[in-house]
Structure 1
Amino acid sequence: MTAAPVLTQTPVSPVSTIGSTRRARRSPLHQHDARAGWLFLAPFGIFYLAFLIGPTIDMLVTSFFNTSLVKPGLGSFAGFANYAEMLSRPDFWSAMLATLQFTLYTVPPLVVVAFVFAVLTNRMRRGQWFFRLAFFLPFVLPSATISLIWTFIFTPGTGLWPLVESWVGITPGAGMLASPNTAMIGIAIATIWWTVGFNFVLYLAGLQEIPRELYEAAAVDGATAWEQIRFITLPLLSRTHTLVLLLQIIASLKIFDQVYLMTGGGPGISTQVVLQLVTGTGFTDNRLGAASAASVLLFILILVIAVIRQIATRPNRSEA
């Protein structure tokens, strides 16, 4: 009998394995895919550098100079004088307080209302398209249109809001936007009606990614609707909650259009926000350096809030 051949296996060197892997990664096909990816990213990259990164760097540089709108060049070097001036101006802190007040008025309703409407719409078997259209349609309207609509609604004598106040037994006063105590509330109401559809769509998209089998199994086990929301919906939408909350805080801190068009910062300066102060300082007082310093301070505030939110929502690895 002929002996069966003995099969020997040559050991594979880790170095050769890594080398072959690197050669495979550098294959012409891989390089072609990489070039195609960069080619598709190029239009957005150019737009991002030209209209976001570039102006941001220019704003940071300008904040250290006495730059004027009517004089060419950067002007004389000011160092941190523009920052010190802004931090010592009472109207800057008033504008910062008004911005934070608007953020406090709008962020919780825009998150909670959008989530509730999304949950109710997601439970409907028919007609979801109508509610998606109804909630998102105001968001596509320009800010000027929204401001005109709600300014007319709040107008005493002819607006719908004073009429509703008279129906419920409240004596209409000078108007929602005419009082320093209620003007920011009126702007917040208009903003909530205008932008709640965007958060609604984000929540609805997240809800539709949750398998319905989880809800059906929970219902079979006797879970109530609130228990399903508490133990299924809320945990599985944690990333959507983080995204919506962060985007909404940033958007509220950058408020400008509604304030400028509905109240102009009044009555007095009760609704003047930071970006309106920046516009007045830069284009009315012709002091681009001081206006850039105020913009940088607002940017720092937004960055700090974003970092705090990111740290707060980071999973604890020690507990994993």
Structure 2
Amino acid sequence: MSAGTARRGDPGLAFVGPFLLVYLLVLILPMLHGLWLSLKVIDIWGDGRFAGLANYARLFADPVFGQSLINTFLVALMIVPLLTIIALGLALALNRAGRGAAVLRGIFFSSSILSVTIVTLIWRFILAPDAGLLGEVAKGMGVEPLPFLSSPGLALWALAITTIWWSIGLPMLLFLAGLQQVPADLYEAAALDGASRWRTFARITVPSLRRTTILVVMLQTAAQLQLFGQSQLLTAGGPSGASRTVVLFMNEVAFGRWELGYAQAAAEVLFVIILCVTLTQYWLTGRAGEGEGGR
């Protein structure tokens, strides 16, 4: 490499270098420290001792962690498909010019700016069977209110409903952005050919939104596998652990029992699960795209 080439590379390194330094200090080093911490038996007061894979062996034998892992997957399966479908439906309905559509877009997005504390407080007032909104409506209709917050079979649905209401704004905006990138010529050609609305949607809109849909599903899957605030504030993980998620389990272990190494081991397992799920989704959608391209 000549001296001139090296000099030409210096400005690029000057631009990238600060970002790489911050990335190293904020993400990579804490990640490596967390991995080392997961191999130790340690509390908040001392340095602890090296324990190898003992935390992981204990973790996989822990039925409470196993149940929290199942709960996490179940609530993610409840939320992600429904959230994607509802967000797409809202985007299709509001993808038009006019003040009314703009106002509605703002209303639907407004829930996303609320804190998790405010969101769970609102939904406690709605879902509480004794004095909540749904409970009062059910009593007025002569029907027994559903115990969303105290029934093992309904607690996860309470988390799912709350999270969908809270999270709908960003996926809706992503789908709106995707819809506005679809060429109008395609819809005009479909109208000239006499295609029905459903055929136009299936043949033009859905394929055009494929990348946006992949992005929404991947982002929401990663986010819902880390669900915490709703479980802690809405149901406190109950009843009997029926709505305890992995992140809530980590919080209880780290700050309730002061077992930092054990909690970090759970965090590392969750990290690997999220990474594997996300990469699998990306690989499957990529294979599907190649298959469509081949046809």
Q: TM-score, normalised by structure 1?
A: 0.84
- What is the Cα deviation at residue 63 of structure 1? 0.8
Counterpart Cα distance in 2 of 1:83 and 1:277: 15
Identify unmatched segments of 5+ residues in structure 1. Answer: 1-21
Higher mean C-alpha deviation, range 125-134 or range 278-287: 125-134
Cα deviation digits, residues 90-148 of structure 1 (max 9, x gap): 00101001111110110111100001111111145553321221111100111111011
SS in 1 for 2:182: coil
Of 88, 101, 124, the residue aligned with 2:74 is 101
Cα deviation digits, residues 215-256 of structure 1 (max 9, x gap): 112111111111111111111111111111011111110000
Check if 1:254 corresponds to 2:226: yes
Structure 2 counterpart of 1:268: 240
Structure 2 counterpart of 1:197: 169
Structure 2 counterpart of 1:139: 112
Structure 2 counterpart of 1:85: 58
Of 158, 173, 176, the residue aligned with 2:148 is 176
What amino acid is the match of 2:5? Answer: R
Cα deviation digits, residues 271-313 of structure 1 (max 9, x gap): 1111111111112211111111111111111111112112111
Structure 2 counterpart of 1:65: 40
SS in 2 for 1:255: coil
What amino acid is the match of 1:238? Answer: R
Q: Which of 1 and 2 has greater Rg?
A: 1
Number of residue pairs the alignment of both structures matches: 292
Counterpart Cα distance in 2 of 1:213 and 1:126: 25
Of 2, 6, 16, the residue aligned with 1:38 is 16
Structure 2 counterpart of 1:26: 5
Structure 1 counterpart of 2:261: 289
What amino acid is the match of 1:204? Answer: L
Structure 2 counterpart of 1:306: 278
- What is the Cα deviation at residue 47 of structure 1? 4.4
Gap change, CA 1:252 and 1:286, over 3 Å in 2: same
Check if 1:316 corresponds to 2:290: yes
Counterpart Cα distance in 1 of 2:32 and 2:212: 31
Counterpart Cα distance in 2 of 1:168 and 1:280: 40
Counterpart Cα distance in 2 of 1:132 and 1:55: 39
Counterpart Cα distance in 1 of 2:141 and 2:197: 33
Structure 1 counterpart of 2:136: 163
Cα deviation digits, residues 27-58 of structure 1 (max 9, x gap): 96x5475256426xx3x545433333232211
Counterpart Cα distance in 1 of 2:24 and 2:192: 54
Of 27, 30, 36, the residue aligned with 1:52 is 27
What amino acid is the match of 1:215? Answer: Y
Counterpart Cα distance in 1 of 2:185 and 2:157: 42
Check if 1:231 corresponds to 2:203: yes
What amino acid is the match of 2:31? Answer: T
Counterpart Cα distance in 1 of 2:265 and 2:59: 7
Cα deviation digits, residues 15-38 of structure 1 (max 9, x gap): xxxxxxx98x9396x547525642
Counterpart Cα distance in 2 of 1:107 and 1:256: 16
Counterpart Cα distance in 2 of 1:36 and 1:165: 64
Check if 1:119 corresponds to 2:92: yes
Identify unmatched segments of 5+ residues in structure 2. Answer: none
Counterpart Cα distance in 2 of 1:91 and 1:153: 29
Cα deviation digits, residues 52-89 of structure 1 (max 9, x gap): 32322111111111122121x2x221111100000001
SS in 2 for 1:178: coil
Indicate the percent of aligned positions where both proteins have the same amino acid.
36
- What is the Cα deviation at residue 164 of structure 1? 3.1
Structure 1 counterpart of 2:49: 76
RMSD across aligned positions (CA): 2.3
